[in-house]
Structure 1
Amino acid sequence: MQLSRRQFVSTTAVTGATLATEIKPAVAASASLPFIIVGDWGRRGHHDQRNVAVEMGKIAAAMDSRFTISVGDNFYENGVESVDDPQWQSSFEEVYTAPTLFTPWKVILGNHDYRGNVQAQLDYSRKSPRWTLPARYYTDTQTLPGGAKADFFYVDTSPFIRKYYGSRVNVVGQDTDAQLAWLDRALTESTAQWKIVVGHHPIYTALSDDDGYEHDQPDLIARLNPLLLKHNIRIYICGHDHCLQSVKMDGITYVVSGAGSETYRPAAPIRGGFVSGSHGFMVVNLSAARLEYALVDMHGNTLFMEAITNA
């Protein structure tokens, strides 16, 4: 099924297919800020990473995407060793080659990045004109068409996961209390129309843990989620789970965009959510009143879409 402009703008949840070129009219019609979100990707072009990148470039061009958000696990299996690590070329620079992907990349860290040299990923911001990782957690303000503001809060979730302590995921020394205090203060002080929180690990997902894999993250449910509820956050976006998901809990939409390379075949969704094991990414059109997003596979098919109002 090809989606018309009206369907793209007004449909709250739909399955089917849409061509990349059909997304641009919706952007123009809603006067939005368009951008792309991808996660769990750095595999030297393998496991369909390169195919996902090609489609990202096509849709970024159709949407006039302004930036790309990477929700972590940027390099498998063990992060990078330095700013001169060959993976910068084989997993990033030589894969995301479309001109439309040379806009800024807003980056966060995943648990696999913590297996390597985290400081090297921070330092690469000074070497690459598009790699943006100023700190382990940070804020970014975007101006929407018409002058409204959107504040993005990029959080560092790996240090919250207790099972990582004593493992190869080197999160020792990271002060999670300080990070929570920072986030609480930043959300309190924000006057933006949209407050969007981005992390690597899911909080709630559309999958049951019956498959033996921990999809929900109890440590984040206990410590991070209360701040999202306190500040009436409408959407939390993450990766880590290697699939595409969306689910609602307590008025918050939790979206997983972790299908940038290797994926798996997930079980049926729970909680009325959506899940797909397709390789792909997330596209967003953001205006003062609405956040429209779609989960798109590497062939350009729209698997799921939804509009969230800012109310």
Structure 2
Amino acid sequence: MKHYLVITLFFLVAFNATAQSKKEQDQAAIKKMCGCYEVTFNFAETFNYSSDSLYKPSETKVDKGLEWAQLVEDADNKISIQHLLQVGNPASPHIVKHWRQDWLFQNKDFYMFDGDNKWNFVTKTEDEVEGQWTQKVYQVDDSPRYEGSATWVHVDGKSYWENTTTAPLPRREYTKRSDYNVTLRGNRHEITEYGWLHDQDNAKVIRAEGKDDVTLAKEKGYNTYVKVDDSRCQAAQDWWKAHQDKWSTVRAKWDEVYGRHKNLQLEEKVDNKLLYKYLFDDENYNTAKQINPVIDSFIKE
């Protein structure tokens, strides 16, 4: 009996060590997305399924920029990374607060995009998310964008994470297209020798209540993040130090909203103005007293 207990204890310790080692590999891969990068954004429509003979596909889009990915939070079960674009004259660059990605270990609570600026609150079971990381992606104003859960894979010298989820139209599309209302995003994040890769296989979907989804077209996205010396993004780092307290206040308000655990629908504009236009105004929106009411004004009851 004693011999059996010793063997059992040995395997339990070995199993826990292996699981912890896997989680540490996951954490290391996620944090490798931090730093200064030369980014190339590539998007091309690949196939269309429209019955309209006059259908015009989206133009191929290629953009480049310098981006700083700032580690905001580094906890055992949560890693938060804020992206900042550094644009304009390198001697005096302009900083644009870009998207944010939070990674949560074995998260069960989700806000899933359903079209028309609405996100449905969904809860998964422990078994469904065991060993998985949820990537939650936020807009520039820290409102929701999309999220999904999957397992980080480390095999044959590769580290990658793959998930397919619903999302709003990207900015490059919703200002030009109104013939579809949901993007079905196939996301692959892979750590590479040069930095990391965001590889996408997306579907442009028409969603209407009471009807099956219809795929209008498909799109390929191939965004490369090539690591460069962090000093090249010094202006973005300095900007974040000066503005991080304000954006911590914004995140805290949104955390309170998400913590309600109910479906969320947002106004597109209030007084003909987008939310980020309010929040990017540092002079008039810098404290909780100024920030919280304007975020509340965008939430439909």
**Structure-1-length-normalised TM-score:** 0.22
**Structure-2-length-normalised TM-score:** 0.23
| Larger gyration radius, structure 1 or structure 2 | 2
Q: Which has the higher contact order (CA 8 A, sep 6+)?
A: 1
